A and B are shown apart, each in its own frame.
Chain A
Amino acid sequence: MRNGFLFFLGLFCAALFAWAGIVLGSHAQLGDLRPYVDETEGKAFPLRHSGISQQGQLVYDDLGCATCHTQQVRRPGFGSDKERGWGDHQSVARDYIFEMRVQLGESRLGPDLANLGARKTPYDAEDLYKLLYTGSGSMPAYKFLFEQRSIADRQPSDDALRLTGNLAAPAGQEIVPTPRARALVAYLLSLNHTYEYPEARPVEPAKEGEHK
């Protein structure tokens, strides 16, 4: 190949330029984001996940939930996220500064989960266990996150699912969540990005003819 070195040098420079723009540029802009201290609340936001919630985040990542669920709320007036009850304000970069792997997601085959723990219609752990076990609509059932065991020689577990019909456990058996399911549900219930940062507050759009 004639001028092979020059060709690969140009290829390398193009890749380097793109990498610097995406990675270094973003890091320069967002790398120094710090938690926001609210003097009125007396707390710093966002709050960190607890230990079991962090384990649940690994399960969330492992199961590929981000394939169908997002964790980013669009601002009011840009989409219908607020009308669906997914959040009253848009997600901003500061919401994710404590995330080891940000699970933004890219398609919404299922609902957005950014504020699942703060929904007006509260989901408790039992509801989520049932949803994971039975599935719903386009959501598959994750029965491998549960264990069916005998209660012949033990007390029934408090976490045993109360199912009816064909899904009910056989007599003398119970269906209990595994530690992975418990961690996943704890993580889902800890998703609460309802604090409104200054940069997330709605601002008046620019008037026509005004310099933006």
Chain B
Amino acid sequence: MSDQHDPRLEQPGASDDSLLSAHETELLPKPDDRGHYRMAPLILLFVFSGIIFYAGTYLNEFAGHYKADVFNEDAPPVAANAGAPKIDPMVLGKRNYDTVCATCHQQNGLRRRGHLSAAREFRVGHGFGRSRHSRRFARFAGPDHGRRQAIRHRAHARLRPRPGRRLQLERRANRRGADLHPRLVGQRRRADHGGSGERGPPAGRPARRLDGRRALEVRVRPHSAF
């Protein structure tokens, strides 16, 4: 058999139908195998939805009402002024007393000899006199602590029931710019040191002006004068 009669060589060419069918398969959409992309499993959608739901409820439960000053997630929200400290008036008053009043009245409330009347009644007592005394001296608890000496002079003047001779002398001395009238200096020195001042009377002998001072202090009764 010659090569010209070989049936394998005389096969007909590809028909149109065969060509179209062969190309249709190529035109169909194919999976993107080169990029290795696959559709995510649908179950992941439910899994992540569950996680987001759990996180949202957890955050809502334990976020402390989304406030920075809430440190207990189990506590109800507290009003802004509910946590304000309660100031104990006794503690605050004691601090003011130690700052201002103790200069003259001492820590124990007992007066120094020759100075203002005792404050013990006002520390332990109650009533109208105490409140008036507090109002009277509250203004001293300010930035003018350094002027305590001047304040004390003014306090002396205010504590008197009525202006007297000594107050007139003090006012006169103040107008002249002097610290204190010489007569008052000797008087107070005698009152402070029991009559050992230079211009004071001899020891053991009651001073006339000292008696007058005592009379003044007797008139300044705490509950009636303050």
Which A residues form the contact surface with B (CB < 8 A)?
A: 29-30, 38-40, 42, 75, 90, 92-93, 198-206, 210, 212
| A42-B95, A198-B83 given; A203·B78 CB < 8 A | yes
What's the Cα separation between A29 and B66 when bound, in Å? 10
Name which of B84-92, B164-172, B176-184, B198-206 contacts chain A: B84-92
Residues of A within 8 A of B68 (CB): 29-30, 93
Cβ of B70 to closest chain A Cβ, rounded Å: 8
C-alpha spacing A92/B71, complex, angstroms: 7
Give the distance in Å from the alpha carbon of A38 to the alpha carbon of B85 in the complex.
Answer: 8
CB <8 Å contact, A39 and B87: yes
Check B75 against A200 for contact (C-beta < 8 Å).
Answer: no
Pairs across A and B, CB under 8 Å, 22 listed: A29-B67, A39-B92, A40-B85, A40-B87, A40-B88, A40-B91, A40-B95, A75-B71, A90-B71, A198-B83, A198-B84, A199-B69, A199-B70, A202-B72, A203-B72, A203-B75, A203-B78, A204-B76, A205-B74, A206-B75, A212-B65, A212-B76
Interface of A is mostly: loop
Give A200 to B72 CA distance when docked, in angstroms.
9
Question: Complex Cα distance A40/B76, Å?
Answer: 28
Within the complex, the shortest CB–CB distance from A139 to chain B, in Å, comes to 30
From the candidates A38, A199, A205, name the one contacting B71 in the complex (CB within 8 A): A199
Chain B residues with CB under 8 A of A204: 75-76
B-chain residues with CB within 8 Å of residue A198 when the two chains form the complex:
83-85
Q: In the complex the two chains form, is A40's CB within 8 Å of B92's CB?
A: yes
Tell me, in angstroms, the Cα distance from A99 to B100 when the chains sit together. 35
**Least Cβ distance of B39 to chain A in Å?**
18
Residues of chain B from 27 to 71 with CB closer than 8 A to chain A in the complex:
65, 67-71
Residues in chain B near residue A92, CB distance under 8 A: 69, 71
Give 6 nearest A-B pairs by CB, closest first: A198-B83, A29-B68, A203-B75, A199-B69, A205-B74, A206-B76
Chain A: which residue is nearest B74 at the CB level? A205
How near does chain B come to A54, taking the closest CB pair, in angstroms? 26
Measured between alpha carbons, how far is A201 from B72 in the docked complex, in Å? 10
Which of chain B's residues have a CB closer than 8 A to the CB of A38?
85
- The docked-state distance in angstroms from the alpha carbon of A90 to that of B72 is 10
Q: 12 additional contacts, CB 8 Å, given A198-B83, A203-B72, A212-B77? A: A29-B67, A40-B87, A40-B91, A40-B95, A42-B95, A198-B84, A198-B85, A202-B72, A205-B75, A206-B74, A210-B76, A212-B65
| Shortest distance between the CB of A18 and any CB in chain B (Å) | 15
Give min CB distance, B73 to chain A, whole Å. Answer: 8
Give the distance to chain B from A46, nearest Cβ to Cβ, in Å.
Answer: 15
Distance, CA A202 to CA B92, complexed state (A): 24
Task: Determine the chain B residues whose CB is within 8 A of the CB of A199 once the complex forms.
Answer: 69-71, 83
Contact partners of B75 in chain A: CB under 8 A: 203-206
Q: Which residues of B contact A93 (CB under 8 A)?
A: 68
The proximity string for B residues 182-201 relative to A, scoring 1 for CB distances below 8 Å and 0 otherwise, is 00000000000000000000
Which A residues touch B65, using CB under 8 A? 212
